[in-house]
Amino acid sequence: MSGKLFEYAPAPESRDIVDIRATYGLFIGGEWVDSTGEDHHKSINPATEEVLAEVAFATAEDVDRAVTAARQAYDKVWGPMPGRERAKYLFRIARLIQERSRELAVLESIDNGKPIRESRDVDVPLVAAHFFYYAGWADKLEHAGFGPAPRPLGVAGQVIPWNFPLLMLAWKIAPALACGNTVVLKPAETTPLTALLFAEICRQADLPPGVVNIITGAGGTGRALVEHQGVDKVAFTGSTDVGRQIARSVAGTGKKLTLELGGKAANVVFDDAPLDQAVEGIVNGIFFNQGHVCCAGSRLLVQESIAEELLDRLKTRMATLRVGDPLDKNTDIGAINSAAQLDKIRELSQAGEDEGATRWSPPCELPERGFWFAPTVFTGVAASHRIAREEIFGPVLSVLTFRTPAEAIEKANNTPYGLSAGVWTEKGSRILWMAERLRAGVVWANTFNKFDPASPFGGYKESGFGREGGRHGLGAYLK
Amino acid sequence: MSTERVNVRKTYKLFIGGAFPRSESGRSYVVTDAKGKFVANASRASRKDVRDAVVAARKAFGGWSSRTAYNRGQILYRVAEMLEGRKAQFVDELRSAGMGRAPAAAEVDAAIDRWVWYAGWTDKIGAVAGAANPVSGPYFNFSTPEPTGVVGVLAPASPLLGLVSVIAPVIATGNTCVTVTESPLPSITLAEVLATSDLPGGVVNLLTGQAAELAPWLASHMDVNALDLAGAPAELATSLEQAAAENLKRVLRPAADTDWTADPGTGRLTAFLETKTVWHPVGV
CATH, residue B257:
3.40.605.10
- Nearest chain A residue to B134 by CA distance is A454
- Nearest chain B CA: its distance from A362 CA (Å): 31
pLDDT at A177 over 50: yes
Q: Cβ contacts (< 8 Å) between A456 and chain B: which residues?
A: 131, 133, 143, 275, 277
CA distance linking residue A76 with residue A34, whole number of Å: 25
Kindly report the pTM of this predicted structure: 0.96
Instruction: Kindly state whether residue B115 falls inside one of the protein's structural domains.
Output: yes
At A1 the pLDDT is: 43
Question: In sequence order, what are the beta bridge partners of B146?
Answer: B274
Instruction: Kindly state whether residue B6 falls inside one of the protein's structural domains.
Output: no
Instruction: Kindly state whether residue B19 falls inside one of the protein's structural domains.
Output: no
Q: Does B280 touch chain A (CB under 8 A)?
A: yes
- Nearest chain B CA: its distance from A335 CA (Å): 29
| Chain A residues within 8 angstroms (CB to CB) of chain B | 129, 145, 240, 243-245, 247-248, 251-252, 254, 259, 261, 416, 428, 431-432, 435, 440-447, 450, 452, 454-458, 460-465, 467, 470-472
Q: Cβ contacts (< 8 Å) between B280 and chain A: which residues?
A: 428, 431-432, 435, 445
Chains A–B, number of C-beta pairs less than 8 Å apart: 109
At B284 the pLDDT is: 87
Give me the residue from B134, B253, B274 closest to A460, CB to CB.
Answer: B274
β-strand pairing of A442-445 with B28-32: unpaired
Catalytic, out of A13, A108, A189, A260: A260
Instruction: Kindly state whether residue B20 falls inside one of the protein's structural domains.
Output: no
Predicted confidence band of residue A185 (pLDDT cuts 50, 70, 90): very high
Instruction: Kindly provide the ipTM of the predicted complex, given to two decimals.
Output: 0.96
* A446 with B275: Cβ contact below 8 A: no
Question: In sequence order, what are the beta bridge partners of A55?
Answer: A24, A41
Instruction: Kindly state whether residue B3 falls inside one of the protein's structural domains.
Output: no
- Nearest chain B residue to A479 by CA distance is B267
- Nearest chain A CA: its distance from B143 CA (Å): 7
Residues B150 and B247 sit within 8 Å (Cβ to Cβ): no
Give tens-digit pLDDT for A339-361.
999 999 999 999 999 999 999 99
- Nearest chain B residue to A463 by CA distance is B248
- Nearest chain B CA: its distance from A90 CA (Å): 20
Instruction: Kindly state whether residue B23 falls inside one of the protein's structural domains.
Output: no
Q: Is A37 left (phi over 0), alpha (psi -120 to 50) or beta?
A: beta
Whether A202 is a known active-site residue: answer no
* A455 with B133: Cβ contact below 8 A: yes
What kind and span of H or E run contains B192?
helix B184-195
Give me the residue from B129, B253, B277 closest to A442, CB to CB.
Answer: B277
What kind and span of H or E run contains A226?
helix A219-227
* B244 with A435: Cβ contact below 8 A: no
| Domain assignment of residue B227, given as a range | 28-281
Whether A295 is a known active-site residue: answer no
Q: Cβ contacts (< 8 Å) between A247 and chain B: which residues?
A: 241, 244-245, 248
Q: Which domains does chain A have, with CATH numbers?
A: 23-261+461-477 (3.40.605.10), 266-445 (3.40.309.10)
Residues B141 and B133 sit within 8 Å (Cβ to Cβ): yes
CA angle (B33, B34, B40) in 5-degree steps: 10
CA distance linking residue A67 with residue B172, whole number of Å: 41
Q: Cβ contacts (< 8 Å) between A428 and chain B: which residues?
A: 280
* B141 with A442: Cβ contact below 8 A: no
Predicted confidence band of residue A4 (pLDDT cuts 50, 70, 90): low
* A472 with B143: Cβ contact below 8 A: yes
Instruction: Kindly state whether residue B207 falls inside one of the protein's structural domains.
Output: yes
Catalytic, out of A294, A295, A391, A462: A294
pLDDT at A2 over 90: no
Give tens-digit pLDDT for A274-297.
999 999 999 999 999 999 999 999
Contacts of residue A265, defined as CB under 8 A and 6 or more positions apart, other chains included, come to A285, A295, A296, A297, A298, A299, A417, A419, A420, A421, A422, A440
Rounded to the nearest 5°, which phi and psi values hold at B227? -140, 125
What is the number of domains present in chain B?
Answer: 1
Gyration radius (Cα) of chain B, Å:
20
Mean pLDDT for back-to-back runs of 10 residues, chain B (284 residues):
86 97 97 94 98 98 98 98 97 95 97 98 97 98 98 95 98 98 95 98 98 97 98 94 98 89 95 98 94
Question: In sequence order, what are the beta bridge partners of B140?
Answer: B280
Instruction: Kindly state whether residue B255 falls inside one of the protein's structural domains.
Output: yes
- Nearest chain A residue to B243 by CA distance is A248
CA distance linking residue A259 with residue A319, whole number of Å: 37
* B238 with A461: Cβ contact below 8 A: no
Percent of chain B with pLDDT over 90: 95
* B278 with A432: Cβ contact below 8 A: yes
Q: What is the mean pLDDT of residues A153-157?
A: 98
Residues B11 and B42 sit within 8 Å (Cβ to Cβ): no
Mean pLDDT over each residue of chain B, to the nearest integer: 96
- Nearest chain B CA: its distance from A149 CA (Å): 14
